[in-house]
Structure 1
Amino acid sequence: MQLALAILALLVACAAAALAVIGLRRQAAQARRPSAESLPADVHGLRQEVAALRAESGDALRHLSVVRYDAFGDMGGHLSWSVALLDDHGHGVVLTSIHGRSEARTYAKNISGWTCDQQLSPEEEEAIEHARP
């Protein structure tokens, strides 16, 4: 009987020690992790600047795609091209240059929300689709 009580007391002591170690580790981890209130004011300022830069970068023309092709069957070399320059919301422009034997023509079409009010050529549509993230 006394042996059973001693074993039970030993098990309870081991469980208490394990819980104490877990509690101390959690407390140490929380002490290493600074709270938002304990950070210096310049860190808060930097966080606000990063958030503002992320918001501004959504309007940057950062999605780009170029499609080169032969506009006419008797011409080679893929000298004609369409390039899409778009922001995160699909607003921007698609530029097209069609190269012929004696001249080259260049066109620009506004893109809004990944679509265009004007009719797009298959190559222009392809450039827009490739620019889409």
Structure 2
Amino acid sequence: MTFLAIAALVVALVGLIFSVIALRRLSAGRRGSGADALPEDVHGLRQEVAALRAETRDALRHLAVVRYDAFGDMGGHLSWSVAILDDGGNGVVLTSIHGRSEARTYAKSIAGWSCEQQLSPEEDEAIDHARP
């Protein structure tokens, strides 16, 4: 009976040793594959960032507002020009001129950071401030 108990203990101990060795090998293998897989992950992330940048080139994301007094007898900077442009300088400039009795609003198309219509100094300033 004692012999069977000792034999079972030896078998259990040998099994435990093999399990620890196998676990260490598996753990070391995972660390190596994680480090090896990292460049692939970084490469994939770089491709994703490049694709997102390409998608946002046409987004109207450059914005600048210039507030000013259109008339010398009025204060408060109630008139304004806003440029809303994409990376290529395409978009629109909106201008609102406020007087004592009326307000007028204008919209001008911008292509390649310039406009076919004549721009006011404030509209030019808004485009310059919107340029990255």
How does the TM-score come out when normalised to structure 2?
0.67
Provide the C-alpha distance between the structure 2 equivalents of 1:128 and 1:47, rounded to a whole number of angstroms: 31
Correspondences of 1:1-133 after superposition (within 5 Å): 32-34=35-37, 35-36=39-40, 44=44, 49-133=48-132
SS in 1 for 2:73: coil
SS in 2 for 1:115: coil
Structure 1 residue runs without a partner (length 5+):
1-27
C-alpha deviations, 1:46-87, integer Å up to 9, x for none? 765543322111111100000000000000000000000000
Provide the C-alpha distance between the structure 2 equivalents of 1:100 and 1:109, rounded to a whole number of angstroms: 20
Structure 2 residue runs without a partner (length 5+):
1-30
Provide the C-alpha distance between the structure 2 equivalents of 1:79 and 1:33, rounded to a whole number of angstroms: 61
SS in 1 for 2:66: strand
Q: Which has the larger radius of gyration?
A: 2
Provide the C-alpha distance between the structure 1 equivalents of 2:66 and 2:48, rounded to a whole number of angstroms: 37
Provide the C-alpha distance between the structure 2 equivalents of 1:47 and 1:67, rounded to a whole number of angstroms: 37
Provide the C-alpha distance between the structure 1 equivalents of 2:89 and 2:71, rounded to a whole number of angstroms: 29
- Post-superposition offset of 1:98: 0.1
Aligned letter for 1:32?
A
Provide the C-alpha distance between the structure 1 equivalents of 2:53 and 2:72, rounded to a whole number of angstroms: 45
C-alpha deviations, 1:87-124, integer Å up to 9, x for none? 00000000000000100000000000000000000000
How does the TM-score come out when normalised to structure 1?
0.66
Provide the C-alpha distance between the structure 2 equivalents of 1:63 and 1:47, rounded to a whole number of angstroms: 24
How large is the Cα RMSD of the aligned pairs? 2.6
Provide the C-alpha distance between the structure 1 equivalents of 2:66 and 2:118, rounded to a whole number of angstroms: 17
